[in-house]
Amino acid sequence: MQDKIVFTGMRPTGKLHLGHYLGVIENMVKLQDEYRCYYFIADWHALTTKYDKTEGLKQDVIDVATDWLASGISPEKATIYVQSLIPETAELHIYLSMITPQNWVERDPNLKDMAKILRSKEGFASQINYGLMGYPVLMTADILSFNADYVPVGIDQVAHVELTRDIARRFNNIYKTDFFKETQPLLNNCALICGLDGNKMGKSFNNDIKISDSEEATAKKVMSAITDRSRLRKDDPGHPDECEVAFKYWKIFADTEEVNKIRCECEKGERGCADCKRQLGCKINERFKEIREKRKYYEAHPETVEKILREGSEKARVEAQKVLKEVRQLVRMF
Ligand code: TRP
């Protein structure tokens, strides 16, 4: 067990899909055995775009935590918390916002994308608010509230972790200290699994398989996966490398030997796409069997999930308080 701190979080987007599981969560489960880990749910960040749709927010937080716990993230190993239960992060956000040049947040590539999406919407949620501009500064405050060493994130978030380093360095310069560490990103395999239609897997694209899906729903979704478009009959020779989804999934879920066997059978026309996808559905269901059983337990006990989040948040808060005490002294606050 290393003394280094690993820190990461997710926005509460509701029930998670296999892209989240394979790209992020599996990694979080591994890291909790090796480092001091803090995993949190960023409910303030959800408000940057969904401030006018908060009725489902609490349930979305519970849903993410339920998927985490089912997947094997353990409150005994990692500290799991809810962002808004740590007011110290909001305070740190204030100090950091005072020293962050405006053009550092304006050049954020994610903000530019988000602005495009928002502009295409109608109504008052279509503008960029002050809080959304500050998204990466708040993220910096999350990370620096625990003075983390490593932040596992997807490629789209790496720019934010770089900004975290820039802000930390600026803080250290201004207040003549070496208090904040230079946090490093740890890259996740975010694009590992595509959606059922071959595009990026995402909840809003309606092409995802959820951790929480039933076996029947999973089997049905897998049957809709795109295969080799040039293949008309099941005994036509197939082209696994042109199979748009199913063969890619096999490469993720089966071992090399099985993948080679499937390739041979497909190329010889001995394996129809429907049969292939039926087997694939079973394979995926097998992989998630235990996780889904565990998930049923937590789903039936949301009060247990909430208790874990509240206790984790209390523990996390004690650590953030230590950091903030130091920061307040460095900034020479009253
Ligand atoms: N921005 C991240 C996302 O959308 C969530 C997040 C907020 C985060 N604060 C963080 C991730 C701090 C890592 C560290 O996925």
Q: Ligand 1 pocket, 43 CB below 6 A?
A: no
Determine the pLDDT at residue 192. Answer: 81
78 vs 169: CA distance, rounded Å? 28
Please give the pLDDT value at position 190: 65
For residue 119, what pLDDT is reported? 78
Cβ of 89 less than 6 Å from ligand 1: no
Mean pLDDT of the chain: 94
Domain boundaries defined on the chain: 5-194+302-331, 213-294
Number of CB atoms found within 10 A of residue 39's CB? 25
In whole angstroms, give the CA distance from residue 101 to residue 136.
12
Indicate if the pLDDT at residue 300 is higher than 90: yes
Structure tokens at 28: 């979080």
Residue 191: pLDDT over 70: no
Instruction: State which of 11, 82, 110 you would mutate to test the pocket of ligand 1, scoring each by most atoms of that ligand within 8 A of its C-beta.
Output: 11
In this predicted structure, the answer to whether residue 124 has a pLDDT above a threshold of 90 is: no
d(Cα 183, Cα 201) in Å, to the nearest integer?
29
For 231-236, the CB contacts below 8 A with 24+ separation are 231/273, 234/269, 234/271, 234/272, 234/273, 234/274, 234/275, 235/269, 235/270, 235/272, 236/269
- 134 CB within 6 A, ligand 1: no
Cβ of 9 below 6 Å from ligand 1: yes
Ligand 1 and 139: CB distance under 6 A: yes
Q: What percent of the chain has pLDDT over 70?
A: 98
126 pLDDT exceeds 80? no
Judged on CB neighbours under 10 Å (0-12, 13-18, 19+), 130 is exposed
Strand (E) or helix (H) holding 79? strand 78-82
Residue of 44, 45, 135 to test ligand 1 pocket, by largest number of atoms within 8 Å of CB: 45
- Rounded (5°) CA angle 11-16-18: 130
- CB 143 near ligand 1, within 6 Å: yes
Question: Could you tell me which of 284, 294, 131, 273 has the C-alpha nearest to residue 217?
Answer: 284
85, HSE (Cβ side, Cα atoms, 13 Å): 21
Lowest mean pLDDT segment, chosen from 1-10, 67-76, 156-165, 228-237: 228-237
What are 182's strand-pairing partners? none
Find how far residue 197's CA is from the centre of its chain. Answer: 21
Residue 23: which of 193, 169, 175 has the closest Cα?
193
**Above 80 in pLDDT, residue 5?**
yes
- SS3 call for 5: strand
Mean pLDDT, residues 20-36 taken together? 95
pLDDT over 80 at 1, yes or no: no
Task: Spell out a b/e string for 137-156, using b for 16 or more CB atoms within 10 Å of the CB, else e.
Answer: bbbbbbbbbbbbbbbbbbee
What are 232-265's pLDDT values in tens digits? 888 889 999 999 999 999 999 999 999 999 999 9
Residue of 105, 142, 156 best suited for mutating to test ligand 1, as the one with most atoms within 8 Å of CB: 142
* DSSP structural state of residue 38: E
Using alpha carbons, list the distances in angstroms from residue 76 to 23, 39, 182, 269: 23, 12, 27, 51
pLDDT band (50, 70, 90) for residue 316 = very high
Nearest alpha-carbon partner for 283 in 209, 226, 231:
209
Over range 283-300, report the average pLDDT: 98
Can you tell me which atom of ligand 1 is nearest the CA of 7? 14
17 pocket-lining for ligand 1 (C-beta < 6 Å): no
CA separation for the pair 224, 245 (Å, rounded):
10
Tell me how far the alpha carbon of residue 10 lies from the centroid of ligand 1, in angstroms: 5
For residue 296, give the 3-state DSSP assignment. Answer: helix
Whether the pLDDT of residue 95 is over 90: the answer is yes
Pocket test for ligand 1, best of 8, 92, 162, 190 (most atoms within 8 A of CB): 8
User: In terms of CATH, what superfamily is 5-194+302-331?
Assistant: HUPs (3.40.50.620)
Distance CA 213, CA 219 (A): 10
157 Cβ closer than 6 Å to some ligand 1 atom = yes
| Least confident interval from 89-103, 116-130, 160-174, 259-273 | 116-130
Which residue's CA lies nearest to atom 3 of ligand 1? 10
**pLDDT value, residue 125:** 67
Half-sphere exposure of 229 (CA within 13 A, CB side): 5
Q: Which of 93, 144, 153, 187 has most ligand 1 atoms within 8 Å of its beta carbon, as the pocket-test mutant?
A: 153
* Whether the CB of 10 sits within 6 Å of ligand 1: yes
Domain formed by 213-294, architecture = Orthogonal Bundle (1.10)
Q: What's the sign of the alpha-carbon dihedral 317, 310, 294, 54?
A: negative
Tell which atom from ligand 1 comes closest to the C-alpha of 42: 7
Rounded distance from Cα 122 to ligand 1 centre (Å): 27
